[in-house]
Structure 1
Amino acid sequence: MNNKVIQRLAQAIEQRKDIALVMITQTEGSSPRGVGSMMLVDRDGHLVEGTIGGGIAESKAALEAAECLKEGVSKTIRYEFEVESNDPQKLAMVCGGKIELFIRVFKQPDHLLIAGAGHIARALYQFARVLGYFITIIDDRPGMLTKEWFPDANELISGDIVTELKNYKTTEQSSIVICTYQHTLDEAALAAAILKPHRYIGMVGSRKKVALCFQHLEAQGVARETINEIHSPIGLNLGGETPEEIALAILAEIQAVKYGR
């Protein structure tokens, strides 16, 4: 069973999903399972693979693991088993004994997906790299989408921007920025990305361009509440007009959304 746990853990990391590994590290007296037993828990406290014995101990440990994922911390927890107990660290289980668990958090880096490889994209990439983002850049211009221009990007995807956006798998931790070289392409890229999982989505553009784009999205059947999620005109109002200043405002807004500010 532990082999399956390790396989699912590797799969979750490859797919950039937050996951917590819970392992029994010590037991005393009777316990549901022995040292080395493992389970995987997702951000919602759901069991993904494995078991540490089931019952109230497993349920409570899964909730603890979900909290650890939200806080981004690993820790050791201990439970005592008693027939009756009001102590949160003493669980009402007839087996008696004690158990120690280690919760190891595997929290994936924030993901930034940039549609476009121009000057704003390059400045945004440079700021995001400092903050440790996993950076994906999509563009259809091989001359712009180069390792010389984006040396430390995690993914450079060359091809039709709209098609590649449709095919790309994002998560609830993804931030999507649309900044291509053409207004009509921006609109098509936004339409391809808006219904994908994301934490943040924004598009570079003037108020007039943005209003027209939103009208077109609504005419295509995109719900108004979904359109309202789009940050556009993009970025916090920090002032400035250079690519670097615009990129700073965009990343500042992404960070504000991340922390609920």
Structure 2
Amino acid sequence: MSASAHDLLSGRNGSTVLDTALCYGFDHEQSYIRAFKRQFGVTPAQFRRGTAEIQLVERCDPSRFTEIRRGVVFEPTFVMKPRSLYAGRKATIAIADNFEHHTANAHGVSFFYGEYAKIPNKLKPNVYIGLTLYPPEHGPNATDYLPSAEVSSLEGLKHDWDTAEIPAGKYAVFKYIGRFHPEHLTIHQLNDIWNYMDEWITRSPYEQAHGHHFEYIDASLARQDYCEADLYLPIRDI
């Protein structure tokens, strides 16, 4: 999309939107227009008229990512996230059982296809949050896993759903892109990503701030051969 935008302005590879669409592998002009608008928020014609600017995604620097199990994980970006609220269906996950039977993955998939759509007050209707909590009473052998949606309010939800309130804080956000559908993202891929995150944090000026982390998955981006997940790790200065 970024390369085609340059061609639209320069007239390279033809003077029309159709010429550009065909050059970049689209069979139909309308398919290209929809893809362009989805990426940049404006149509190719609006962009060519100079009525809007767009943010380009440059070719990535391979030194900024690491191969991990049928995919890559990128060096983190940083965000400040306000207090956030989540509603879903919590389960206590034994670490050993999860490695053998993928229990967290099974719980998350069951929740997303069976109950996710019923949660009211969702902030982003297509976004799945896999929130992992480390209650001290579980020790090192188990965690609480809350497949959930981020919601605008917990009012009226606590009776029907398991909920969590996470304080405002700073996060390192690691993007993972894999060659499979997100529903197949299991403890084995995640464990390798966490190991990478642990190595990163040992050489950074930060430490983990709270007893949780979460996966952010936009289901609208998912394909059978494409998984995109952002892993949010709460951090604070050492």
For normalisation by structure 1, the TM-score amounts to 0.24
Larger relative contact order (Cα-Cα within 8 Å, sequence gap ≥ 6): 2
Larger radius of gyration: 1
